[in-house]
């Protein structure tokens, strides 16, 4: 597992910069109708959220390290009681963390107080790779708490969480990117993994679709718990109606939005 350790030790900020630059260039190259100025502005507004996330990094790190130290001291959790091969422990851990995210995400949509923080991610009406970065700070803490509760219950190894968090950022860029992926992606990967098309359905304005495909890495939870839905990507209207317009797409509006009473706007057909 030494090589994996070394890969996971890569500075996340370097990976972030590489992802931002490469996805921006790919999206410009493949979507020539997009104007550079407005796209740069859109990226910039969303990157401001990521700067807050980076500033919160030490708080999140402290939450994670102190939880795992506490688990080590008390040998807490199922995997500390039963002996399983190390590789099984790690892979099962990644699956369980994804399961935790699934339920946290579902409650993020269903509990009105949580939706106030989570709708920031859903507000993006012109979705592209940078939407991956648009998340309200407490929403990030909220998901981390869910992952740590799961880690404590099962006595997960910190390697599972490191691996899960390492995969999260690139996968999130792939999911949100304004790129047309080949048609074979869904049949080949979609039986087990969340594909970009599945996550895009989650960003459809119509709440029937917004409340579906909650999975982060694996789509199996949606299939198991009855929240898996599909829709042709060409027919998707992104974002939330109540956030339409340039002013409501700005960082300053969005960062204040959880504290505002914003009425849901439903399309009448
Ligand atoms: Zn969501
Ligand atoms: Zn998303």
Ligand 1 centroid – CA 174 distance (Å): 16
Look at residue 210 and tell me whether its pLDDT is greater than 90: yes
Q: Residue 74 and residue 83: Cα distance in Å, rounded?
A: 16
Ligand 2 centroid – CA 191 distance (Å): 19
Range from 13-17, 91-95, 192-196, 248-252 carrying the lowest mean pLDDT: 13-17
Q: Residue 114 and residue 101: Cα distance in Å, rounded?
A: 14
* Residue ranges with strand state E in the chain: none
Q: State both tokens at 81.
A: 């009681």
DSSP string, 106-162: HHHHHSHHHHHHHHHHHT-SS--GGGGG---HHHHHHHHHHHHHHHHHHT--HHHHH
Look at residue 31 and tell me whether its pLDDT is greater than 90: no
Ligand 2 centroid – CA 123 distance (Å): 10
Q: Residue 222 and residue 161: Cα distance in Å, rounded?
A: 21
pLDDT for position 2: 77
Look at residue 267 and tell me whether its pLDDT is greater than 80: no
Mean pLDDT of 10-31: 92
Residue 28 inside a domain? The answer is yes
Ligand 2 centroid – CA 158 distance (Å): 25
Residue 264 inside a domain? The answer is no
Residue 191 inside a domain? The answer is yes
Q: What is the pLDDT of residues 144-159, one digit of tens each?
A: 999 999 999 999 999 9
Domains identified in the chain, total number: 1
Range from 6-10, 90-94, 213-217 carrying the lowest mean pLDDT: 6-10
Residue 255 inside a domain? The answer is yes
Sign of CA dihedral 89, 94, 97, 103: negative
Residue 206 inside a domain? The answer is yes
Look at residue 268 and tell me whether its pLDDT is greater than 70: no
Residue 254 inside a domain? The answer is yes
Sign of CA dihedral 235, 236, 240, 245: negative
Greater model confidence, 223 or 77: 223
pLDDT for position 269: 55
Residue 182 inside a domain? The answer is yes
Ligand 1 centroid – CA 137 distance (Å): 15
Ligand 1 centroid – CA 13 distance (Å): 24
Mean pLDDT of 200-227: 97
Ligand 1 centroid – CA 220 distance (Å): 17
Residue 266 inside a domain? The answer is no
pLDDT for position 167: 96
Range of the domain at 147: 2-259
């Amino acid at each position: 597992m030494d090589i994996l350790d070394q890969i996971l030790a890569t500075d996340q900020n370097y990976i972030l910069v590489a992802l931002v630059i490469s996805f921006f260039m790919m999206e410009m190259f493949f979507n020539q109708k997009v104007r550079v100025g407005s796209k740069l502005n859109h990226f910039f507004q969303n990157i401001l959220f990521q700067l807050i996330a980076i500033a919160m990094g030490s708080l999140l790190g402290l939450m994670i390290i102190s939880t795992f130290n506490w688990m080590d001291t008390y040998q807490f959790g199922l995997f500390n009681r039963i002996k399983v091969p190390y590789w099984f422990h790690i892979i099962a851990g990644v699956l369980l963390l994804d399961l935790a995210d699934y339920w946290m995400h579902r409650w993020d949509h269903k509990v009105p107080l949580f939706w106030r923080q989570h709708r920031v991610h859903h507000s993006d009406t012109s979705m592209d790779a940078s939407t991956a970065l648009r998340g309200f700070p407490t929403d990030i803490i909220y998901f981390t708490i869910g992952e740590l509760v799961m880690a404590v219950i099962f006595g997960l190894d910190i390697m599972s969480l490191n691996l899960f968090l390492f995969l999260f950022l690139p996968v999130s860029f792939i999911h949100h990117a304004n790129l047309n992926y080949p048609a074979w992606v869904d049949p080949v990967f979609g039986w087990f993994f969340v594909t970009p098309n599945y996550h895009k359905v989650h960003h459809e304005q119509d709440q029937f679709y917004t409340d579906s495909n909650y999975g982060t890495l694996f789509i199996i939870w949606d299939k198991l718990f009855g929240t898996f839905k599909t829709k042709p990507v060409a027919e998707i209207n992104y974002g939330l109606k109540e956030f339409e317009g340039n002013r409501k797409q700005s960082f300053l509006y969005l960062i204040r939005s959880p504290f505002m009473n914003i009425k849901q706007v439903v399309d009448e057909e």
